[in-house]
Amino acid sequence: MRLALDLFTIVAVTLGAIFFLAGTVGLLRFPDTLTRLHALTKADNLGLGLVVLGLLPQATAPLGWIGLIAVWLLALLSGATVGQLLAEAVRPPEWDQTRTPDAPPVGHPNAPEASSHD
Amino acid sequence: MHANQHPTRSPGRLKFTDAEPTAAAPSVLAALARGAGFFGFWLLLARPGTDAPSTPDLAADLVVGLLAAAAAAWVSLRLLPPARKRLHVGALARLAVHFVWQSMVAGVDVARRAFDPRLPLNPGYLAYPVRLAPGTGRAAFGAVTSLLPGTLPVGTGADDALVYHCLDLDQPVAAGLARDEALLARVRGGGGSCR
């Protein structure tokens, strides 16, 4: 049983580390600040979640569990908030002119809105 | 599926802080309740006295914790005044399950794109005409959707629409946002502009 839990920890934490690596690779490879923000917020959210999940069997119940999950939730909340603030700070003022590809996104109800700005 | 949408009051409805902002006594109660909550959270994270417990050290730790909890309660009352609002617990659980699943999808999606040698991205902007009123509901919507696959809210555009930056405009982004918004609106019982 102990061995199984330890194996679970190793697998989950390793997977988490892979997602952290993915976030960093995205940070380096993605073309601009906003796409890099995507990489960091989403991959690190999942990576931290997997690390926390993997550490649960090693923590003392129940206080250790609650503490680990609280850390994850706090990181989620701050990541979601800071991500939006950074995105708002760096977006170009002509957001709908510069990045929208040739055709507006088809097949969803908001396509007219996307081109009516300014 | 739609059992929790029934208009009659079900036991799944939980009443949260029920003080009116104008009433003095209830806001003191709200401040005490929030302070106690923050102090409990601080105890959980800091765990004073777990290593080498000596009484003066523990007392000093607790004073710091109490001050921090009081400061947090003060800030929270400034930023989020207590108001009458019920949260729908069943809908909240559905939103949590949806959120965890979509977080995994989002992480895998970004990792796949980051590791792909061709770097398959089709970034662009999308104006989403959000129906949630400005305030807590919209802030929660922005926070939730910023962690979901391929969407990052970057601000408010024309006609009060939320502007999203998307990793891949070929994905059905607006449909996903509409589903998230419906889930969140159900958590908040559909009414009320802010909490």
* Same domain for B66 and B104: no
* Same domain for B74 and B95: no
In a domain, B193, yes or no: no
* Same domain for B67 and B118: no
* Same domain for B108 and B74: no
Mean pLDDT of B12-32: 59
Task: Tell me: pLDDT of B18 over 70.
Answer: no
Q: What is the pLDDT of residue A107?
A: 41
In chain B, the residue whose alpha carbon lies closest to the alpha carbon of A81 is B143
Is residue B90 a contact partner of residue B56, using CB atoms and an 8 Å limit? no
Sheet with B162-166, strands from edge to edge, namely B124-128, B162-166, B151-156
Q: What's the domain range around B25?
A: 17-79
| Mean confidence (pLDDT) of chain B | 79
* Same domain for B150 and B69: no
Task: Tell me: pLDDT of B36 over 70.
Answer: yes
Most confident of A57-66, B30-39, B143-152: B30-39
- Tens digits of per-residue pLDDT, A23-41? 999 999 998 888 998 888 8
**For B5, which DSSP code?**
G
Residue in B106, B157, B163 closest to A42 by CB: B106
Smallest CA–CA distance, residue A103 to chain B, in Å, is 10
Q: What is the pLDDT of residue B52?
A: 63
**B153 three-state secondary structure:** strand
How confident is residue A4, by pLDDT bands cut at 50, 70 and 90? very high
In chain B, the residue whose alpha carbon lies closest to the alpha carbon of A87 is B154
The token duo for B146 is 């910023």
In a domain, B5, yes or no: no
Mean pLDDT of A49-77: 90
- The count of domains in chain B is 2
B40 touches chain A (CB under 8 A): no
Q: What is the pLDDT of residue A23?
A: 93
* Same domain for B41 and B108: no
- Tens digits of per-residue pLDDT, B144-169? 888 888 888 888 877 778 888 888 88
- Tens digits of per-residue pLDDT, B64-109? 999 999 999 999 988 888 776 677 888 889 988 998 898 899 999 9
CA dihedral A99, B103, B188, B183 (to 10 degrees): 80
Task: Tell me: pLDDT of A96 over 60.
Answer: no
Chain A residues close to B154, C-beta within 8 Å:
34, 84, 87-88, 91, 95
Q: What is the pLDDT of residue B11?
A: 43
* Same domain for B182 and B93: yes
* Same domain for B106 and B74: no
pLDDT: which is higher, A72 or A94 = A72
The token duo for B140 is 């929660």
In a domain, B1, yes or no: no
How confident is residue A22, by pLDDT bands cut at 50, 70 and 90? very high
* Same domain for B72 and B98: no
* Same domain for B183 and B125: yes
How confident is residue A18, by pLDDT bands cut at 50, 70 and 90? very high
B149 touches chain A (CB under 8 A): yes
* Same domain for B103 and B21: no
| Mean confidence (pLDDT) of chain A | 80
Burial class, A60, CB count within 10 angstroms (exposed 0-12 / middle 13-18 / buried 19+): exposed
